[in-house]
Chain A
C-alpha cells in the first residue's frame, strides 16, 4: 500500500515514515500534490505552531488538495495534523485551518495548570485514552491504553459526534477526532510503542478496505 506522508517542512516526519515502513507499507515523504493524488492513503503529521503549519501547507500548494482528497482517501492526522483538521487555533489567531471539522484548538489553561495547580504545559508524556465510540483504527486496542502526547493545545470539536476518544489532563479533552475516512490523533502513535503501532497497522488495514 502506498502512503503519502505529507512533508511541509515542520516536525519530525521521519519517525512516522519509519513506523509505516516497519509495518510493510510503502511510505513516501512528499510535498507534491501529485504524489498525494497517487497514494492509497495520506498521513498528515507535524509538530510546531498551527500558523506555521498552515503556512507550510499553503506554500506547498497543499491546502486545497488535502481538503479535496480527505473526502475520497483515508487520512490520518497526527498532533498538529489533527489540529489543522479544524477551523482555527488560539495559538495562531487569524490563521485558517483546513476546516474538515468544526471547532478550534485551545490552550491548556485554568486553575489546574501552572505553578498554582501543578499541571505542566506542554502536556508531555504517557496518558490514557478513553474511547468515546468504537472506530476501526482502535480495533484490539484496550480502552485505557497509554499513548505518548506532546502538546500545549488541544482540539475542541464543535460537534461532539466528531470525538472518537478522550484523555484527561486537568479535565477531559479530545484526543482523537474524525469523521468518514479521516481520523486524527493528538498523541504520537509512532512513539506509542505497541499500542501506537497497532493503531497504525489498523489504519493501514482500514485504508485497504
Chain B
C-alpha cells in the first residue's frame, strides 16, 4: 500500500528562500539547499521548490539550487515556477529534479503537457493548478472584481480574437473527454494563472481531467481561497479533483496544523499534502506530522 506523502514546499526567489525559516542551528536559513537538507534529514517524503523569480535573468539560479540539492538530498525533488518550454523541463531534470511542475504555460499551451510527458514520461510532469471557488454555483467562472478578458489576453499574449480561439480550442478538447456528472447546486472552481492574478474562466475539474489526459502524471492543487489562511485545505476542491482524475493529487494551500493534514487525506482524498509555514516556522516537525497521521490510521512512511 502506498504511503501518503508529506511534502514541505520552499518558495525560492533568485536562489534564496522567501518565507522565513525558523530552524535551530541552520547556518543560513535563507539557503534553500541547507533547508532542503534539513527536511531530508527530518524524513520529508519529497521536497518541493517553487521558483518565484520574476526576472528572466534570474531564472538560471534555480538550476544551481537544484543541482546542489540533488547532490545532498536523497529523496524526490519537485521543482516548478516559470517553466515554459520542453527545454525548461529538460534543464531542470538534468540538474537533478525528479519532477517538474507546469502551471500557466500549460494553460496557454496545453500541448506542452503532451510534448513534455512524451519526452520524459508522465511520471515527471506535474500539472500545477491554482483554483478559486466560484462565487455562486453555476456562475461559470465569473467573479465580481477581476481584470477580465483584457487581463487574460495580456497574460496569454493574444489579441481578443486569438484568445477566443484559444478558449474554444481548450473547451472543445474538454468536451471530447467522457462526460462527468455535474450537480448544478454543487460548488465548482475556476483556474487562475500568473500567480493567481488572471482568471482563465476554465473549470478546474475539467482542466485537471484534460491535463491528465494530455499526459500530466500528477496534480499539484492549490486553493487560492485557503492559501495563506492556515485554516485548512479546501477539502471540497481537493476531493472533487482527486475523484475526477486517476493520477495522484497533492493538496496545497491552507495547512495551519496537523489536523489539516489528516483532513487532506481523509475527507480530501489527497495522495500527498504540501505545507510550508507549519514546518518552516518550526511549529511542527515532519515526524510529528507522521505520528499524528499514523495515530489516525493513515499509512505513512517509517523513515
A residues within 8 Å of B by Cβ? 12, 14-15, 18-19, 21-22, 47-49, 114-115, 120-128, 144-146, 148, 150-152, 168-169, 190-194, 196-197
Contact = CB atoms under 8 A, between A and B. Distances in A.
Given A15-B98, A121-B246, A169-B2, A145 B40 contact: no
Given A12-B98, A148-B76, A193 B40 contact: yes
A168 B5 CA distance: 17
B273 to A, nearest CB: 13
Of B2, B5, B72, B74, the most chain A CB neighbours within 10 A belong to B74
CB-based closest 10 A-B pairs: A146-B301, A126-B3, A126-B301, A125-B2, A150-B123, A18-B71, A122-B123, A193-B75, A191-B76, A120-B246
A190 B271 CA distance: 22
How big is the B interface, by class? Answer: 20 to 34
Main secondary structure of the interface of B (DSSP, over half): loop
Given A14-B70, A18-B70, A191-B76, A125 B271 contact: yes
A22 B70 CA distance: 11
Contacts of A115: 246
Given A120-B246, A125-B271, A150-B123, A192 B2 contact: no
Given A125-B248, A126-B301, A47 B2 contact: no
Given A12-B98, A122-B123, A193-B43, A127 B1 contact: yes
Contacts of B94: 12, 14
Given A15-B98, A169-B2, A191-B98, A124 B302 contact: no
B217 interface: yes
A127 B246 contact: no
B248 A120 contact: yes
Contacts of A169: 1-2
A146 B3 contact: yes
B248 A15 contact: no
Nearest to B218: A124
A191 B75 contact: yes
B93 A124 contact: no
A15 to B, nearest CB: 6
B121 interface: yes
30 contacts: A12-B94, A12-B96, A14-B94, A14-B96, A15-B96, A15-B98, A18-B71, A22-B72, A47-B120, A47-B121, A47-B123, A121-B246, A122-B123, A124-B2, A124-B123, A124-B218, A125-B5, A125-B248, A126-B301, A127-B2, A144-B302, A169-B1, A169-B2, A190-B74, A191-B74, A192-B74, A193-B43, A193-B74, A193-B75, A193-B303
A194 B303 CA distance: 7
A146 B302 CA distance: 7
A28 B96 CA distance: 16
Contacts of B95: 14
B188 interface: no
Contacts of A14: 70, 94-96
Given A148-B76, A168-B1, A191-B76, A120 B45 contact: no
Contacts of A21: 71
B96 A120 contact: no
Of A48, A121, A124, A194, the most chain B CB neighbours within 10 A belong to A124
B96 A18 contact: yes
A192 B43 CA distance: 10
Contacts of A126: 2-3, 5, 45, 301
A122 B215 CA distance: 12
Interface string B249-279: 0000000000000000000000110000000
